[in-house]
Amino acid sequence: MASSDKLTSESIESAPNSKSPLDRPPPINFFVVDLGLRLLLFASTITAIVVMATSKQTKVLNIPLLPFPLVRAAKFNQSPALIYYVVALSAACFYSIITILSSLAAISKTSPSKKLLLLLAYIDTLMVGVVASAMGAASSIGYLGLKGNSHAGWTKVCNIYGKFCRHVSASISISLIASIILILLVFLSTYSLYRRSH
């Protein structure tokens, strides 16, 4: 009888210290923040693509050795680096649409699956590399257009095609925002996985 009383008093004393699974707060669903970042990613990539696609500029060039003026146009599709840039941003834009839908589906759940978080972290990291490499390629062409290269005999063209160069630089600046958003998405996915494991 005394031992049963002792067990009962010990269980009462230890009851406040032990938390049942029902008392634990539910895990924080970061997919609301994730959705906001992916909407910003879509907006930045589509804006950068539109700015680059509308960068065409036509100029009439008077060359001293020719008796007639030449009409020349500067377009992004004349450079393989700028074509790669537009294709890479188009892939990132399409990816953002798919992941916006997955984030909308995950918001309704209290605890999205770890597999989804891990997959998003992997593909977000891949997209950071793709967008960053495309920015590097486009920036190198933009720098050549602005400064030229006296060693290779390449003349600068931004003094002639000013509007074209402004569009290219604006598009690259906007894509920098997209790459920063992708880095934040990688951090968010890995942090969500870290919270799940603890």
Q: What is the pLDDT of residues 163-193, one digit of tens each?
A: 888 999 999 999 999 999 999 999 988 887 7
28-45 per-position pLDDT tens digit: 567 788 889 999 999 999
Residue 104 has pLDDT above 50, yes or no: yes
Mean pLDDT (the chain, rounded) = 80
Q: What is the pLDDT of residue 129?
A: 94
15-28 mean pLDDT: 52
Mapped onto helix, strand or coil, the DSSP state of residue 60 is strand
Q: What is the pLDDT of residue 45?
A: 95
The whole-angstrom separation of Cα 69 and Cα 37 is: 49
Q: Residue 74's CB: how many other CB atoms inside 10 A?
A: 21
Structure tokens at 42: 């879509």
8-37 mean pLDDT: 60
57-68 per-position pLDDT tens digit: 777 766 666 676
Q: What is the pLDDT of residue 61?
A: 66
Residue 21 has pLDDT above 70, yes or no: no
Q: Tell me the β-bridge partners of 73.
A: 58
With b meaning 16 or more CB within 10 Å and e meaning fewer, what string describes 17-33? eeeeeeeeeeeebbbee
Q: How confident is the model at residue 76 (pLDDT cuts 50, 70, 90)?
A: confident
Q: How confident is the model at residue 15 (pLDDT cuts 50, 70, 90)?
A: very low
The whole-angstrom separation of Cα 47 and Cα 67 is: 42
| Distance, C-alpha 64 to centroid of its chain | 47
Higher pLDDT, 109 or 41: 41
The whole-angstrom separation of Cα 94 and Cα 110 is: 27
Q: What is the pLDDT of residue 83?
A: 94
